[in-house]
């Protein structure tokens, strides 16, 4: 994502007809304000993960007692729902942390590259953009090196490539959070519907 940003900055600074347009800036403002929700969603997921983990722990530590109240199928399906919820929530939380940290880093890099010193540095560069992208990606192991090269190429053609990548991650985080909450509710419903009556 940083390589996409750097490449887009270098491209628009070295080529006037490809400069950032007002539409680009407007999209960036709207998208970044949307992405600011990921931190709140990540914190909410932290609380619900904790609750689901407590339910699973209580459930498993008292499995004999639960087995006398809930049918065998109900126990299996509820554990499956709770475990799926826990896994989806953990991945959603990790993505949320990555977005939050990535946006902070992206803003710092932008501030540096758009500064007077950053502009001077970019204007002094003599390497062609594709070669510079190859050199930046070279020390990374596969598949990161491939991701860096691809990101560099996307940044050469799209000034908003880094923001778009964050939006894809945000959508993934949101869908996983929904799956997390849905499976947690489904697990509780399964337990409630599987209670054996005397």
Length of the chain: 198
Instruction: Supply the pTM of this predicted model.
Output: 0.80
pLDDT at 24: 83
Residue 59 near residue 194 (C-beta atoms within 8 A): no
Alpha carbon separation from 104 to 60, 74, 128 (Å, rounded): 40, 45, 28
Q: Residue ranges per domain, the chain? A: 27-193
pLDDT at 1: 57
- Token output for 126: 């003599």
CA dihedral 134, 140, 141, 145 (to 10 degrees): -40
Mean pLDDT (10-residue bins), the chain, 198 residues? 52 51 86 88 92 90 86 91 95 94 88 86 82 83 86 81 91 96 95 80
pLDDT at 115: 87
Q: What is the sign of the dihedral through the CA atoms of 149, 152, 157 and 163? A: positive
pLDDT at 171: 95
pLDDT at 113: 82
| 22: number of Cβ within 10 Å | 7
């Amino acid at each position: 994502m940083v390589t996409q940003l750097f490449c887009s900055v270098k491209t628009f600074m070295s080529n006037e007809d490809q400069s950032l347009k007002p539409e680009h800036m407007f999209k960036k403002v709207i998208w970044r304000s949307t992405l600011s929700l990921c931190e709140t969603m990540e914190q909410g997921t932290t609380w619900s993960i904790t609750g689901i983990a407590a339910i699973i722990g209580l459930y498993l530590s008292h499995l004999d007692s639960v087995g006398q109240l809930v049918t065998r199928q109900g126990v299996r399906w509820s554990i499956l729902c709770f475990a799926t919820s826990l896994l989806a929530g953990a991945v959603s939380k990790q993505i949320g942390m990555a977005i939050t940290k990535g946006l902070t880093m992206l803003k710092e890099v932008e501030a540096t590259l758009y500064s007077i010193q950053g502009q001077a540095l970019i204007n002094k560069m003599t390497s062609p953009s594709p070669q510079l992208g190859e050199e930046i990606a070279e020390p990374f192991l596969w598949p990161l090196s491939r991701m860096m090269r691809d990101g560099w190429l996307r940044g050469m053609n799209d000034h908003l490539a880094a923001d778009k990548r964050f939006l894809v991650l945000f959508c993934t985080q949101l869908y996983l959070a929904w799956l997390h909450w849905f499976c947690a509710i489904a697990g509780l419903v399964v337990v409630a519907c599987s209670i054996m009556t005397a």
